[in-house]
Homo-oligomer: A and B are copies of this chain.
Amino acid sequence: MKKNNLTIGIDVGGTNTSLGFVSENGRLIFEKSIPTFADQSAEQLFSRLFKEINTSYAKFIKKYDLIGIGIGAPNANYYKETVELPPNLNWGTVNVVKLVKKYSSLPTVITNDANAAAIGEMIFGAAKRMKNFIVITLGTGLGSGIVVDGKLVYGHDGFAGEIGHTIVDPEGRNCGCGRKGCLETYASATGICRTVFELICNTNLDSSLRKISYESLTAKQISEAAKKGDKLAIEAFDYTAKVLGLKLADSVAHLSPEAIILFGGLALAGDLIIKPTKRYMENNLLNIFKGKVKILSSKLPGNYAAIIGAGALIWNELNKNK
């Protein structure tokens, strides 16, 4: 019997690392998550990961061949095949592709999680058949993956696609990058929590969110409050969308994409974020772009999108060589 091919998708996160087997049509055949242990080295993580992969694959070996490995990781560089000084992992700088060679001879590709998400959307998700689009991941920070003419934009050094660090206001909020006023300090799960606290401070709007401390507040709570009509929560979404829409209009002026796809935690708020972002973006678009650029939600299955993106990354690479 002819066996089908699968790729291995690996999504390295600060807390957990997920792995899965992804079919050519984007089905997740198997999925498992293990703790990353941020204080451990990359070697230790990959040693544990490949034990899991080998054990798990045993159950699939009769039906499937594994043909490649795609990895999404923070601060990953596609060209250099490295992860460089990830802020939440005690890795230093590691050549991950070289490291993987200790455990597997399969072709291996690495990129950052937002780029993997973009390839995932292109092959299996909301950007199918699109050649020019942008994926924005709204999680703890704001990541982005830019696709031009069907290919990810890496720039001359592999680090392109940092829309989260375009500047909204040079005198604005402190950013984790050491500068001020970056887009991700406004438009991200963390950014909307900061906005809620700004509104608590500056307005007299009644709100259930006034009972919650900054440390325990989540974007999900804000979204639930907004759905119940909480004016402060609705205002927080509106302000987030206003800033995001303004800056996305700048991205459109650079790249004229067919669509911008919102992905990750805050994007799960759906129309609460999509509709006002679209409206504010339209207001700020140059006339030749007006009414042309869609804003869409990710179509990858929420919890597994990052693994599927990583699997898609290597599918895309293998299909290039066909």
Give the docked Cα–Cα distance between A79 and B9 (Å). Answer: 37
Is A220 in contact with chain B by the CB < 8 A criterion?
no
**Does A155 count as interface, using CB distance less than 8 angstroms?**
yes
Taking the closest CB of chain B, its distance from the CB of A91, in whole angstroms, is 16
Contact (Cβ within 8 A) B254 A255: yes
Chain A interface size band reads: 35 or more
A177 interface neighbour in B165, B257, B258, B287, Cβ under 8 Å: B287
A95 contacts B by Cβ under 8 Å: no
Are the CB atoms of B253 and A163 closer together than 8 Å? yes
A195 at the interface (CB under 8 A from B): no
Q: Interface residues, chain A, CB within 8 Å of chain B?
A: 130-133, 146, 148-149, 151, 153-163, 165-167, 170, 177-179, 246, 249-251, 253-258, 284, 286-289, 292
A-B contact pairs, 30 of them (CB 8 A): A130-B156, A132-B155, A132-B156, A132-B160, A146-B255, A148-B148, A148-B155, A155-B256, A156-B256, A156-B258, A157-B292, A160-B256, A161-B254, A161-B256, A162-B256, A162-B286, A162-B289, A163-B253, A163-B254, A166-B249, A166-B250, A166-B253, A167-B246, A167-B250, A170-B246, A170-B284, A178-B287, A179-B286, A250-B250, A254-B254
